[in-house]
Structure 1
Amino acid sequence: MPLTDPTATTVSATATSTAPAPSRTPRAAGALLVLGFVLLSLNTRVAFGQIGPLAPVAGWGPGTVTLLALLPPLCMGLFAPLGALARRRLGEERGLFWASVLLLAGAVLRTAGLPGLYAGTVLVGVAVAVVNVLIPVFVRARFAPRRIGTMTGVYALSMGAGSAVVAALVAPVAGAWSWQAAIAIAVVPAALAAAGLAPQLRVARTPAGPVAPAGRRRVGRTALAWSLTAFFGVQTLVFYATLAWLPTVLVDAGLSRTTAGTDQAVLILGLAVGGFLAPTLAAARSDQRPHILGVAAVCVLGLLGLVLAPAGGAPLWAAVLGIGMGGGQALAAVLFARRGTDPDHVAALSTMAQTWGYLLAATGPALASALHTASGSWAAPLLAMAGLVAVGCVLGLRAGRAVTKPRRDPSDR
């Protein structure tokens, strides 16, 4: 059940556990909960945000960059069902902790040359797949309803801030030492996340309900689930294509590699800002369609700006695009939590949208590269992404619609 006090933990569940009750006060336990949540949030895009800024410095070819950009969304799509399995077997708290341990192992492995970078990126992708599915359920279950938007915003803000700091550091560190040293930066926040989530192992696990309660249609047969999937998938495709190629786009436009890396950090800071604002504003309303339209419009503006003025206005357009993409990704998490009728339904919606959405997103970097090769310009992929954002916006409006009338099947919306 959601808490009425955001600083409290699930005291009733803990009290019924056979283990001794924790000696810490509810306020201290709540502080540890928020701390672990923020530390984990800092890590969920750090590893993936390193590739774009490092590509020009490390001298990786298009094939290497495309593969490293493809692996994260591919893994997060293929392994999203593990999040639902982890929730049923371990509960949200333990599931998130063990995902953070796997993320730490992947961050360490990524420092072991190119083979280790590939293998470690797969491990990190699997870990983040579990985190992505569990976070909306965790937020709904452990925080008061009025805090859902704020905590989703905190998640996105922390995620963007961590990625931005690392993106700004990797090029100078790689220039001074090596790209392996730059990759190793991600190990520190990953270790902190695992340590920060360890106290949540003492929270008593609440058993998950049946996969589909009697009377509920499977989410794959509902228009709501497919609308969520379309909106999330398009937003994520544009996100990963931009993350992979923006520094190269800017270098080809005449900027230095260091400046391109700095603009990538500006993009990721924009992700953090948009990721905080959109869910905070959207969760306060019952109808999120205006917010879906808003984030799509901001994304299109940023992409068109990069087409028209990729060099002169790069920091501005990177910030605008980042705000739009960050808002779109975080808004999807609010839609999971607000449209789900209970934690099991939230998990089912999240799992489906992220499985198919990330598999769609995995094609983004390769499609952008293919369009660039075919046209000889980055304008073609940027304009194609702007068109996709518009299509995803239209398809996603169903998921943003407020439900005002009771229905026999609450999941068919």
Structure 2
Amino acid sequence: MRKNYYQKLAFMGMMLIVLLAFQNYTSREKENFPEIKFITENSIPLNLMEFDPNNLDAKQWENLGFSEKQVFTILNYKKIIGGKFTSKAQFKKCYAVSPEKFTELESYILLPETGKDHHFEKFDTYEKKEIHISGRFNPDRLSAAEWISIGFSEKQAEAILKYKNYLGGSFVSKEKFKECFIISSDNYSKLEPYLVLPVQTPDDFKNYGKNYTAKSKIHYRNFDPNTLDLDGWKGLGFSEKQANTIVNYRDRNLRGSFKSLEDIKKCFVISPEKFEELSPYIKLNTNTNLIQKQETDFSKVDLNIITFKQLLEFGLDEKSAGSMIGFRKKLRGFVNKQQILDTYNIDKNLVQKLISIAPLDVSNVPKYTLTEAPEEWLKDHPYFKYSADKIIFYRTTYTDDKKILKLLKLKPEYEERMKLYLK
């Protein structure tokens, strides 16, 4: 009995402990779980640098964190406003750029805050003027002044001509003319009945004028095909590529001159129809055939004025000669002979031999300070064009070249190349 008594007592003690523990658990205040935060892709920091939004391509926009669809919207918006962002405020209005994204990018954007700036002019796309048309006309033949007389603003006239050049020098068709963003639907409706253009775009048309030449009437005059340069052949209606082919065919294949009309006819870029148009005006100077080819003394030929023909005479092929002349033209002249050796697509051994013989006169090579350099020069020069917009932006505030170079944060070798053309 005593044993049973102790067992019951122990059982009651255990039950009491359990009850006390349960009461203690239920009486505790409710604890809050920590807040869960999810990390999104947008929280990953971008390695941002200063940039001009007018110079970015689709891939570079994507690198800034925009989706493919957003990039398409941004680039389309840029076209609508005239092809260029003129301020941060204008860029901010693009609905593909969220307020959060703009705040993230704002300090890196190389644009003025608001309004017009000396270096960023805006197309006056939406200026309302009355259109006046006196009769049927070919828009390919109109100058900027004539577009203004019709009722377009000066900026609009410039944009229309740029669009024509973009198409290859001709509006091609009413269909293509209508696509010019400067010309509103209302103005197109007024102009359309008077346009001397085909309605539909030709099937073989391609942008940028690479494979399409506008068929506008050319007023021919008598000419000697042996004295025509590149511009002369272009003036006869050939594209730049076709003109280059004709000049090279004459100078290289025919050793400097056409000997007969048949030689001209054999040039594959001159179609039978085009030859028939030209033949009445061709006055071939047969005396050209009697001129003996003179050997050039290359020890007296300045490398900054040496011609394509002279390079071929020295032994360079067309590719090497063209590359050297083209690079020199972009630079506005070589300032040292190493630049010539650095030219792409050249026969380095032959060029090394040439530069060891020929002199280099650098007295006529243009040089500027960063604060005075023309914008066109900066944007076209191989050593400056990738930093041109930054230079133009910084020099609105700073007048010291050393300060601007420091802000550009260039690699030492790039800075040294720039200094070759700086005063």
TM-score of the two chains, using structure 1 as the length reference? 0.24
Bigger-Rg structure (1/2): 2
If asked which structure has higher relative contact order (CA below 8 Å, sep 6+), I would say: 1
TM-score with structure 2 length normalisation?
Answer: 0.24
Between structures 1 and 2, the one with greater helix share: 1
